[in-house]
Amino acid sequence: MVEALFRAYFMEGIDLNDHDALVSLAASVGFDWVRSRCTWKRHGCGDGQAAGAGSPGAGIDIVPFFIFNGKVTVSGAHDVPVLLEAMARATATDAASVVE
């Protein structure tokens, strides 16, 4: 999906704020079209209104920004050990933290 998004935006000039375009891209890489459509509508993707930390527009204002397992976030560029630590915390049962 990431490759499809990059190709669509940078090479084909597709507007990634267009829900229909996102659903089509998701379907093109094997996601269920109907399910993708419902997910995009439910979470308000592309309009800056996030349903949760794992949704686009969830107050992310720096790149890169990683969300591991929907629990641990890492903002900004970090060395590999920091990212591995975040991944390890994300797999712990009580994980819920932010690394900056």
Q: What is the DSSP string of 8-38?
A: IIIIT---TT-HHHHHHHHHHTT--HHHHHH
pLDDT at res. 32: 80
pLDDT at res. 87: 92
pLDDT at res. 38: 72
H-run or E-run covering 67? strand 65-68
- How far apart CA 42 and CA 25 sit, in angstroms, is 18
Q: Which two tokens stand for residue 24?
A: 């089509």
* Residue 51 region by backbone torsions, left for phi larger than 0, else alpha for psi between -120 and 50, else beta: alpha
pLDDT at res. 99: 58
H-run or E-run covering 98? strand 97-99
34-85 tens-digit pLDDT: 777 776 666 554 443 333 444 455 566 677 888 888 888 888 888 999 999 9
Strands 65-68, 72-75: parallel, antiparallel or unpaired by DSSP? Answer: antiparallel
